[in-house]
Structure formats: structure tokens, C-alpha cells
Amino acid sequence: MSRHRRSSSFASAAAVFTLFSVSASWAQTPGPLNAITDVPGIEVGHFPLPSSDPTSPPPITGTVSRAGAVGGVSQRGGAPGTRETDLLRPENLVEKVNAVVLSGGSAYGLAAADGVMLCLEAQGVGFPVGGGHVVPIVPSAILFDPGRCAAFSVRPNASFGLAACQAAKGGPVQQGNVGAGAGARSGGSKGGLGTASTVLTTGASNGIIVGAIVAVNSSGRTFDAQGNFYAGFLELDNEFPLIGLSATDVVPPSSLLQNTTIAVVATNAKLTKAQATKVAQMADDGLARAIKPSHGVGDGDTIFVMATGTDTRDATNLVNGIGSAAADTLSRAVVHAILAAQSIHVGSCSVKSYCEQFPNNCAK
């Protein structure tokens, strides 16, 4: 059934013609949850749970793979706050990560990963170091949100990580003002947390699942002055509201501070660390397509990859397709984050959501 927004009319002095687009020819569909948890073994936990009080501490988001997942990272934003990213370089020892923490709180929020480590240690999950001991491998990245609604000193600590890890589970993932996206802003609008997934259904890639979760706190914008998303053309299965395609550009906000978009891409493919790194690099193009500008001086944009390898086929010839799907899935997760974000209007702490600005686009 045709949805009319996918038709566009163009008129010139010489001729008037209408193009109706064909169905997208990607052999891809969203997974059943359209969430990173469509990748078997991937669990997500937030702490604290979502609150309507924007002065409460900013929650964190943990993405956990208790069985371990081969890790990769792409760090290209100009103002990062990270831990355990050096370890992810292909030449370094450890191959598998047990969790990735996305947190608010600027660099103070890196403390949340301490608690995730303690949670996983108690479960015996981590890199074995002899004597029955483990060191959980928990890379993390933060975004800047402190002092927006709560005091600057209100920030995630290790107890947040402990609780988020204990709460981690599969199933649907909440989006919008939740987890690391609770205090996020994006190009002057409310940012948030978003997730998406893609199931590859053709050829040698059949059965590969790619999921993404992202906290969007970007200096750049995700939509133009008419509310059309830059990444609108990547929609799968009518997952976005009835909106058009980006036709114009906008001036980027000049703020160099208080930004950063951070994400995790997960897949069931069996990747080496080097392959996971390449997938992270390709996934990073999904930020470029969804957010404009991106990777700027004041954005600490960082993308982690977790490859669980439960699909045990050799993926050597699938890396390009997985990376391309990772970029698209991440772009779509960014759109989901902005669509799910809710306005905050509490005293001097005020920021409008996309849906407050374009209510007709969110009527769906």
C-alpha cells in the first residue's frame, strides 16, 4: 500500500512529471523489536528508571553481553570522554568486551563503569586472569549534560552502573528521555536515546542481525527547518511518521560545548577485532548521514561495536554489508531518539522536543 509522502512532484519550465519511488530494494527488515536487543544475548539496562523530574540524576545506559562480544570502536568526535578504548585496538590483547556503558555526567560519568565491573565480577563475567578471578571488560563513553536541570554536581556514580547492570535484560528498549539520553539535547532541540535493528535477508548475509542504541546529544541537527529528517530516506517498514525528505539545509548551532553522540552497534556476526573496528568506522557514517554537522570540535562522537558471534559463519566477505547495515541502523536509531524525545519545561530548564515543534509529524 502506497504512502503518499514517498511521491514527489517536480515541475520545470519544460515539463511536469511525477516520480513514484519503487519499494526500497534493500533486502533488509527491522527485527521484531526494532531494537538492539534483537541481537541474541544483548541486554540493556538503565538506571535510574525514567523519571518525569528533569532535576533527578541523569541515568546511564548499559549494554551488556554476558557471554562476551568481540569489540571495536570508532572515535572521531573532537571532545571525547572514554575508557577502555585503547584496549579495543586490534593489536592489543583482549578480544571480548562484556558490557559498554553510555553515560551522561561528562567525564565524571565514566565512574558508572566501575559499578558495571563490580556487577559482572559478582557474576563471574570477565576476562580470566587466573585463580578464578576475572576482570570485566567494560568500555564506556560519556556525553555532556551536567548542570542543565539539576546542579552540576548531580551526576552518575558507580552505584548507577551497578544497578543498571543488575537491571539489564532483553526485550523492548525504552527510548527518548531515558538512560544516557535523559538529559541530552540535539541542535537546540531535546535529544534522547534511540534504538533500531536490521535483519539481513539475502544471500550470504541471510540471518545476520545488526542493532544499534544511541544517545543523541549533538551540536548538529537531525532535521531541517520543515522537520524533515536528514536520515528520512533510510526508513524501513514505515517506522517513521508521515514526514518528507530533507530538502534544505540549516545553519549549524555555534555551541562547541555540551555535546557528544555515543552509540553501541551489536551484531550476531562472528567478527575479528579488526573487522569489528571496520564495522565501527562504517557505522560512524550513519551519524554523518543523520546529524549535520557531526564529528565536530565539541562533539565527542564515539561508536562501539559488539559482535557476539552466535552466527558462527566466517564473516570475512560480509564485513562491507554488515558495516553498511550498521550505518543505516544507527541513522535510524538517531531518528527514533529524536522522535521519542519529550520536551522539558521546568523553571529555567526548558527545551522543546521535535514533536512539540512539529506536532502534525508526530500524530501517528
Q: Which of residues 269, 327, 334, 338 is near its own copies by CB under 8 A?
A: 327
- Rounded Cα distance, 13 and 201, in Å: 43
Does 76 engage in binding with its own copies (CB under 8 A)?
A: yes
Q: Which of residues 61, 219, 222, 329 is near its own copies by CB under 8 A?
A: 219
Does 222 engage in binding with its own copies (CB under 8 A)?
A: no
Does 350 engage in binding with its own copies (CB under 8 A)?
A: no
Evaluate whether 252 touches 205 at the Cβ level (below 8 Å). Answer: no
Q: Which of residues 93, 129, 131, 254 is near its own copies by CB under 8 A?
A: 254
Binding mask 3-22 for its own copies (x = CB under 8 A): xxxxxxxxxx-xx-x-x-xx
Q: Which of residues 122, 320, 346, 359 is near its own copies by CB under 8 A?
A: 320
**What cell was used for 176?**
527518548
Roughly what angle, to the nearest 10 degrees, separates helices 319-340 and 273-290? 40
**Closest alpha carbon to 176 in 308, 59, 268:** 59
Evaluate whether 51 touches 149 at the Cβ level (below 8 Å). Answer: no
| Cβ distance to its own copies smaller for residue 295 or 336 | 295
Cβ 264 to its own copies, closest distance in Å? 19
Does 319 engage in binding with its own copies (CB under 8 A)?
A: yes
Does 147 engage in binding with its own copies (CB under 8 A)?
A: no
Does 27 engage in binding with its own copies (CB under 8 A)?
A: yes
Evaluate whether 97 touches 145 at the Cβ level (below 8 Å). Answer: no
**Closest alpha carbon to 243 in 351, 335, 329, 326:** 335
**Closest alpha carbon to 141 in 197, 91, 94, 88:** 88
Does 348 engage in binding with its own copies (CB under 8 A)?
A: no
Q: What are phi and psi of 158, to 5 degrees?
A: -60, -35
Of the ranges 92-100, 108-116, 147-155, 319-327, which one interacts with its own copies (CB under 8 A)? Answer: 319-327
Of the ranges 102-110, 168-176, 184-192, 252-260, which one interacts with its own copies (CB under 8 A)? Answer: 252-260
Q: Which of residues 122, 225, 257, 346 is near its own copies by CB under 8 A?
A: 225
- Rounded Cα distance, 57 and 43, in Å: 22
| Cβ distance to its own copies smaller for residue 136 or 321 | 321
Q: What is the full DSSP assignment across 93-149?
A: S--EEEEEEEE-SGGGGGGHHHHHHHHHHHTT-SEE-STT-EE----EEE---TTSS
| DSSP code at position 293 | S
Of the ranges 38-46, 124-132, 264-272, 318-326, which one interacts with its own copies (CB under 8 A)? Answer: 318-326
Of the ranges 115-123, 219-227, 340-348, 349-357, which one interacts with its own copies (CB under 8 A)? Answer: 219-227
| Cβ distance to its own copies smaller for residue 3 or 132 | 3
Please name the residues in contact with 52: beta carbons below 8 A apart, sequence gap of 6 or more. Answer: none
Evaluate whether 181 touches 193 at the Cβ level (below 8 Å). Answer: yes
| DSSP code at position 90 | T
Cβ 236 to its own copies, closest distance in Å? 9
**Closest alpha carbon to 45 in 138, 190, 172:** 172
| Cβ distance to its own copies smaller for residue 51 or 360 | 360
The burial class, CB within 10 Å (0-12 / 13-18 / 19+), for 241 is: buried
Q: Which of residues 40, 50, 78, 188 is near its own copies by CB under 8 A?
A: 78
**What cell was used for 192?**
534522547
By CB under 8 A, how many residues form the interface with its own copies?
67
Q: Which of residues 100, 116, 234, 276 is near its own copies by CB under 8 A?
A: 234
Q: Which of residues 278-317 bind its own copies (CB under 8 A)?
A: 278, 281-282, 284-285, 288-289, 292-298, 317
| Cβ distance to its own copies smaller for residue 153 or 248 | 248
Binding site for its own copies (CB under 8 A): 3-12, 14-15, 17, 19, 21-27, 76, 78, 219, 224-226, 230, 233-234, 242-252, 254, 256, 278, 281-282, 284-285, 288-289, 292-298, 317, 319-321, 323-324, 327-328, 360, 363
